[in-house]
Structure 1
Amino acid sequence: MVRLHRSLQFLLAFIVYSKPLVLAQETKQFIYNNGFTEANLILNGIAKIHSNGLLELTNTSHHQIGHAFFPLPVHYNTSLLNNSGLSSFSFSTNFVFAMVAELRADNGGHGIAFTVSPPAELKGAADTQYLGLFNTSTIGLSSNHLLAIELDTVENREVEDINNNHVGVDVNNLKSIQSAPASYFSENENKSLQLTSGNPMQVWIDYDGMEKLLNVALTPARSRKPEKPLLSTPTDLSLVFTDYMHVGFSSSTGSASSHHYILGWSFNRSGQAQSLDPSKLPQLPHGKKSGGLRIIFPLVIVIVLLITISATINIARKRYAEIREDWEQQYGPQRFSYKDLYKATKGFEDKELLGRGGFGMVCRGVLPTSKAEVAVKKVSHDSKQGMKEFVAEIASTGRLRHRNLVQLLGYCRRQGELFLVYDYMPNGSLDKFLFNDEEPNLNSVHGFQIIKGLPSGLLHLHEEWEQVVLHRDVKASNVLLDADLNGRIGDFGLSKFYDHGSTPQTTCVVGTLGYVAPELTRTGRPTTSSDVFAFGTFMLEVACGRRPMESQRPPEEAVLIDWVLECWNRGDS
């Protein structure tokens, strides 16, 4: 009976695995140097192959995943290796990629990961900061049996990223066992690279099973393989891989996204991967060409000609006139043109209005070039005094990156108006859900989902960033909700920056009545504690379902904090 049982086991194993065994033996190496049209890759999510053979993992759609894997598994007989001590557990690959950011080169999506994984479809992976590899419950599990070489363009403190432009070696996790800023060695000089520059770059990955050493190198697409790798990581992959592994690429988008492309790919299971010829690779769209060819701008010439011959240009100048001063040149990438914002919001028409208050108005817009959805906030300023410092703080705010903060993308100045451009939050502000009868009321589950990440965002502002950031106007209307009802702190129009260990140089009391800490009205000096006080008031607001100040109530109930404290003292629940 035991022998019969073992025979059945063997028969089942043969039926299930015999085909992959044969196929894997026939595909120890491959090369795609002329595009992926005939590759028959396994594509998941929004990954697609263009008509010229270019592989696109993700586009500028937000919160999406793209996977592309070689159709056949690679055979690694790990049981034989582990039992016999054989050291032929090696592989080599090189590929050319390009990342074209949605808005600016320093504000792109999450990046690309070369992936070796047992399944070719990474089911359940999150479509945000985990590069399409994991979710909150699977990240870090040894049962993943996954190797990833990440080309990461977002600094995620949750996984201890070193910056927003690095290469890392990941095993079952996104906490890299080794990482380095994106760069390459040329003539004993380390030269930096910007992953989201839009220029094609080439990656070499070589694993030596005898040395148990993984080497990773990165260069511009037309450069030779460096003699010195960027990363040289000791690791025993025979303890990670299963018998059959799939090789491919993974990417995901969040609130800021990029076009992630693979132009060519070579792989060898038992030797050095064949070299790619950059001149044969498919060309990139968006005016970018493979091999680092220079970009030609015929439209610029047309625009210049139109400027010189069009009689209507004077009217256009008046309509789109801006304030530009010499000191603003350093903030060029964060400066939007008024013309683009005017067109994006259809002239700030009422149909695009998201909200209006004492600060001014907020309109939804679609940027004409990238087609990205944004929120444009228009505020008034009638004095040049302090404007230079104010714009400097706006530029600093634009470098804040956290999953629970609304990203400030840039600004524009025109006559007596200042425009701030933010990520668009499709579900609006939290107070709309709390106090608008037309919207469904929040239950406790949704309420907790919204607020659970906000303390992390506030902690990032106060302690984790390179400077201390005082928000100075934390309230329900400044907590915005993304497409998945995740809460994000927004509206940094009143924020102040100062160095850790120092005190803010301001004595101006700002904020919203009901949220302002008592000591702030006496000293006039905001602190992180005054932000925390406002956040505590906001938490009471969510818990009680009423505003901090309601004058129509009896005097003893008008101020939410006083009323809650009185109820506490009386022992009322």
Structure 2
Amino acid sequence: MEYWPHRYAYEELKVATNGFSDDYVLGAGGFGKVYKGVLSNETEVAVKCVNHDSKQGLKEFMAEISSMGRLQHKNLVQMRGWCRKGNELLLVYDYMPNGSLNNWIFDKPKSVLGWAGRKRVLVDVAEGLNYLHHGWEQVVVHRDIKSSNVLLDVDMRGRLGDFGLAKLYTQGEVPGTTRVVGTLGYLAPELAMLASPTTASDVYSFGVVVLEVACGRKPIETWHDRDEDTILVDLVREKYIEGKLVELADRRILGEYDVEDMEAVLKLGLSCCHPDPVLRPTMSEVVALLLGEDTTVTPRVMLQESKKAPSP
């Protein structure tokens, strides 16, 4: 317990959120609502109220506390504390004033995030995920990497949040089979058969985020005039095979990027989404590639097999 975050009094959080007012709601998800709060010392926080109608809710709550409370990295949303009152479970995080990444790219934002900002956020998230996978005594598999779980701080730097689905296991161990969790469009194909999340399945989800950031398109797009949904990973793979990869770059940021740089990022995203998890890069390799550091692994080499591989 000495390493866990501060335990807040329920009344303190109730006052901070104006009685959990609807006017203070920042968002809502499968676990419940997230409120903006202002503590008595004027510190702004985000208060996540976890749905807890089942044992699974309590189990996931404790997983989030145990993992987030002990993890320290500049590119993770830091947990400040927690609270439990009866069956009511609450988590307190640093407040991220610029919301989530998806709100700066999709649904006609007032201000579209430029290429330099997008690339910087990708590096931030990659470094945070690399820490989860390789930087601690336990491996933390996030299991729900997506653009709405990438939050932006006051400086528009990316931080990875929402560890409610995190699966911890000791370095070197094989994670146990569990129920399939995550978000459609970001799930690695092997999870349909194995349901065992691994660092490689996190890498796949990160690859999808890379592609949506570069292309300005959602992982799955539904068009009323088409019989089938458009799967972004499949679309990018087709363009890669045709040698027309850069055609998919977000047109709203045309002129902001170097063509070779955009192509390299798209190839990296596609290599992370390789159908064979063994052929995906590790997050440490991804960080090295994004930063332009020397590495023996290149997206081009890893993509050779994807030309022949079936779509996930």
What range is the shorter-chain TM-score in? 0.7 to 0.9
Q: Deviations over 1:159-214 (max 9, x none)?
A: xxxxxxxxxxxxxxxxxxxxxxxxxxxxxxxxxxxxxxxxxxxxxxxxxxxxxxxx
Q: Which amino acid aligns with 2:95?
A: Y
Quick check: 1:517 aligned with 2:185?
Answer: no
1-side partners of 2:185 and 2:56: how far apart?
29
Which SS does the other structure have where 2:75 is aligned? coil
Q: How does 1:524-563 map to 2 (within 5 A)?
A: 524-552=195-223, 554-555=226-227, 558-563=230-235
Give unpaired runs (5+ residues) of structure 1: 1-328
Structure with higher helix content? 2
Asked if the contact 1:331/1:395 (under 8 Å) is kept, the reply is no
Q: How does 1:112-123 map to 2 (within 5 A)?
A: none
Quick check: 1:338 aligned with 2:10?
Answer: yes
Quick check: 1:353 aligned with 2:25?
Answer: yes
2-side partners of 1:338 and 1:491: how far apart?
21
Structure 1 residues 339 and 405, CA gap change in structure 2 (3 angstroms): same
Q: Which amino acid aligns with 2:71?
A: L
1-side partners of 2:38 and 2:243: how far apart?
52
Asked if the contact 1:475/1:538 (under 8 Å) is kept, the reply is yes
Q: Which amino acid aligns with 2:146?
A: K
Which SS does the other structure have where 1:453 is aligned? helix
2-side partners of 1:440 and 1:497: how far apart?
37
Structure 1 residues 395 and 367, CA gap change in structure 2 (3 angstroms): farther
Q: Which amino acid aligns with 1:410?
A: G
Which SS does the other structure have where 1:437 is aligned? coil
**What residue in structure 1 maps to residue 242 of structure 2?**
570
Offset at residue 337 of structure 1 (A) = 2.0
Asked if the contact 2:61/2:89 (under 8 Å) is kept, the reply is no
Which SS does the other structure have where 1:452 is aligned? helix
Which SS does the other structure have where 2:28 is aligned? strand
Residue in structure 1 matching 2:71, options 379, 400, 422: 400
1-side partners of 2:53 and 2:60: how far apart?
15
Quick check: 1:431 aligned with 2:102?
Answer: yes
Asked if the contact 1:360/1:379 (under 8 Å) is kept, the reply is yes
Q: Deviations over 1:122-151 (max 9, x none)?
A: xxxxxxxxxxxxxxxxxxxxxxxxxxxxxx
1-side partners of 2:218 and 2:56: how far apart?
35
Structure 1 residues 551 and 418, CA gap change in structure 2 (3 angstroms): farther
Larger Rg: 1
**What residue in structure 2 maps to residue 128 of structure 1?**
none
Structure 1 residues 547 and 506, CA gap change in structure 2 (3 angstroms): same
**What residue in structure 1 maps to residue 49 of structure 2?**
378
Asked if the contact 2:50/2:61 (under 8 Å) is kept, the reply is no
Which SS does the other structure have where 1:439 is aligned? coil
Structure 1 residues 388 and 359, CA gap change in structure 2 (3 angstroms): closer
Asked if the contact 1:404/1:489 (under 8 Å) is kept, the reply is yes
Provide the TM-score with structure 2 as the length reference. 0.72
Residue in structure 2 matching 1:480, options 148, 151, 169: 151
Offset at residue 555 of structure 1 (A) = 4.9
Give RMSD over aligned pairs. Answer: 2.1
Structure 1 residues 557 and 396, CA gap change in structure 2 (3 angstroms): closer
1-side partners of 2:60 and 2:51: how far apart?
16
Q: How does 1:311-322 map to 2 (within 5 A)?
A: none
1-side partners of 2:54 and 2:178: how far apart?
19
Offset at residue 415 of structure 1 (A) = 4.4
Residue in structure 1 matching 2:162, options 473, 491, 497: 491
Give unpaired runs (5+ residues) of structure 2: 246-312
Structure 1 residues 331 and 346, CA gap change in structure 2 (3 angstroms): farther
Which SS does the other structure have where 1:561 is aligned? helix
2-side partners of 1:449 and 1:352: how far apart?
29
Asked if the contact 1:478/1:490 (under 8 Å) is kept, the reply is yes
Offset at residue 486 of structure 1 (A) = 0.5
Offset at residue 472 of structure 1 (A) = 0.5
**What residue in structure 2 maps to residue 326 of structure 1?**
none
Q: Which amino acid aligns with 1:419?
A: L
Asked if the contact 2:100/2:152 (under 8 Å) is kept, the reply is yes
Structure with higher strand content? 1
**What residue in structure 2 maps to residue 208 of structure 1?**
none
Q: How does 1:243-258 map to 2 (within 5 A)?
A: none
Q: Which amino acid aligns with 2:52?
A: H
Structure 1 residues 345 and 546, CA gap change in structure 2 (3 angstroms): same
Offset at residue 392 of structure 1 (A) = 5.2
Which SS does the other structure have where 2:90 is aligned? strand
Which SS does the other structure have where 2:171 is aligned? coil
> Kindly, what percent of the aligned residue pairs are identical?
54
Asked if the contact 1:427/1:481 (under 8 Å) is kept, the reply is yes
Residue in structure 2 matching 1:452, options 123, 126, 132: 123
Which SS does the other structure have where 1:375 is aligned? strand
Q: Deviations over 1:448-479 (max 9, x none)?
A: 22222221111100011121001101110000
Offset at residue 359 of structure 1 (A) = 2.8
Counting matched residue pairs gives 244
Q: Which amino acid aligns with 1:437?
A: K
Offset at residue 411 of structure 1 (A) = 2.1
Which SS does the other structure have where 1:460 is aligned? helix
**What residue in structure 2 maps to residue 144 of structure 1?**
none
Q: How does 1:274-285 map to 2 (within 5 A)?
A: none
2-side partners of 1:495 and 1:433: how far apart?
25
**What residue in structure 2 maps to residue 198 of structure 1?**
none
Q: Which amino acid aligns with 1:379?
A: V
